[in-house]
Chain A
Amino acid sequence: MLGRNKHQKPPMTARIERPLSPHIQTYRWTLTMALSIVHRATGIALYVGTLLLVWWLVAAASGPAAYAHVQAFSSSIIGRLIVFGYTWALMHHMLSGIRHFVWDLGYGFKANEREALTWGALIGGIALTVLIWIIAYANGGGR
C-alpha cells in the first residue's frame, strides 16, 4: 500500500518528559503576585496617559487659547482626579520598577526581603503621591 506512506507520522516525534507546572489559579494569592499585576496595570495607564503630556505640550506650543483648554481640564474635579491617579501610577510604577532593578542585580529574593520591597513600593508610591500634591498645592497649583 504505497499510497498510505505519506499519511504516516514521521518516526522522530518521541515525546520528551519534562516538568509541567499548574496554572495560576492553583496558587494562593500573594502580595508579590498582586503587585506584579498592578505594575502592568499602572504601566498601561501611564501609556494611555502620555496623551495628556502630548496635549499639554502641543497646547503650550499652539497658543493661549489652546493652553486655556488644558488648564480648564486640569483644574476641574475630574481632571484633578485623573492627574492625581496619573501621579500615583507614575510613582508606584517607578518604585515597583526600582524593586525590579534590585532583583535584576541578584538581591532581595528571600521571602521576607521580597515582601519588604513590595510593601515599600506600595506604601512609598502612595506617600510620594501625597507629598507631590502637598508641594503642588503649596506651590500654587490650587490657583
Chain B
Amino acid sequence: MSFDESHGSPKRPSMRTPLGRVRNLGAAHAGTSDFWRQRITGVAMTLLMIPALVIIMMLLGRNQVYAAQTLSSIPVAVILLLFIFASVWHMKIGMQVVIEDYVHNEKLKLTAIMLNNFFSVAVALASTYAILKLSSGV
C-alpha cells in the first residue's frame, strides 16, 4: 500500500506532506504565472536598459524646457512607458516574494502585500500620468 505512487519509490520518500498534497499550490495560493512574468519583465528591462540610459544621458544638466521637450517625443515617451511598466510589474512581484518569505503573521503579510500593490500602482500611475501630460503638451 502506498500513499503516493506518483512521487518517488518506497525507498525514496516523497518531500511532499499529506497536507501539501491536499492544499496544492503552497503559501502563495497560485501557480507559476508570477515566476514567468518576473522573467518576461526582467528580459524586457534588460533590452530597454541601453535606450533608457541614453535618454537619461541626453537630459543630464539640461533645464526643464529641454527635458519636457525631449520627454514628449514619441520614441522617448514609449521607451520610458515600457520601461516603467516592466519595472513596476517586476518590483511588485519581487517585493511580494520577499514579503511571503519573511512575514509569517498572516494578517501582517496580507497588509504588506496590499501596501506593496498600492505603492507599485501609485508609482506606475504617477510616472505614466507625468509622461502623458508632457506628451500632450498641456
Q: Which A residues have a C-beta under 8 Å from some C-beta of B?
A: 16-19, 40, 43-44, 46-47, 50-51, 53-54, 57-61, 63-64, 66-68, 94, 97-98, 100-101, 104, 132, 135-136, 139-143
Query: How many residues on chain B are close to A (CB under 8 Å)?
Result: 38
Contact check, A140 vs B18: say whether CB atoms are below 8 A apart. Answer: no
List 9 A-B pairs, Cβ < 8 Å.
Answer: A43-B98, A44-B95, A44-B98, A50-B123, A53-B123, A53-B127, A64-B63, A101-B42, A140-B60
Tell me the smallest distance from the CB of B65 to a CB of chain A, in Å.
7
Tell me the smallest distance from the CB of A104 to a CB of chain B, in Å.
7
Contact check, B46 vs A61: say whether CB atoms are below 8 A apart. Answer: no
For A44, A59, A60, A140, the residue with the greatest tally of chain B CB atoms inside 10 Å of its CB is: A60
Q: Residue A61 contacts which of B42, B68, B87 (CB distance < 8 angstroms)? A: B68
Chain B residues whose C-beta falls within 8 Å of the C-beta of A57 in the assembled complex: 71, 80, 126-127, 130-131
Chain B residues whose C-beta falls within 8 Å of the C-beta of A50 in the assembled complex: 87-88, 91, 123
- In the complex, A39 Cα to B31 Cα: how many Å? 23
The answer to whether B30 has its CB under 8 Å from any CB of chain A is: no
Chain A residues whose C-beta falls within 8 Å of the C-beta of B108 in the assembled complex: none
| Chain A interface mostly | helix
Tell me the smallest distance from the CB of A143 to a CB of chain B, in Å.
3
Contact check, A97 vs B42: say whether CB atoms are below 8 A apart. Answer: yes
Contact check, B17 vs A18: say whether CB atoms are below 8 A apart. Answer: yes
Chain B residues whose C-beta falls within 8 Å of the C-beta of A18 in the assembled complex: 13-15, 17
Contact check, A46 vs B91: say whether CB atoms are below 8 A apart. Answer: yes
Chain B residues whose C-beta falls within 8 Å of the C-beta of A132 in the assembled complex: 53
Contact check, B13 vs A61: say whether CB atoms are below 8 A apart. Answer: no
Contact check, B130 vs A58: say whether CB atoms are below 8 A apart. Answer: yes
- In the complex, A135 Cα to B53 Cα: how many Å? 11
Closest to B58 in A: A139
Asked if A67 meets B60 with Cβ closer than 8 Å, knowing A19-B15, A97-B46, the reply is no
- In the complex, A92 Cα to B46 Cα: how many Å? 12
The answer to whether B64 has its CB under 8 Å from any CB of chain A is: yes
Chain B residues whose C-beta falls within 8 Å of the C-beta of A140 in the assembled complex: 60-61
Tell me the smallest distance from the CB of A17 to a CB of chain B, in Å.
5
- In the complex, A54 Cα to B53 Cα: how many Å? 16
Chain B residues whose C-beta falls within 8 Å of the C-beta of A47 in the assembled complex: 91, 94-95
| Interface residue ranges of B1-34 to A (CB < 8 Å) | 3, 13-15, 17-18
Contact check, B60 vs A141: say whether CB atoms are below 8 A apart. Answer: yes
- In the complex, A31 Cα to B36 Cα: how many Å? 26
The answer to whether B134 has its CB under 8 Å from any CB of chain A is: yes
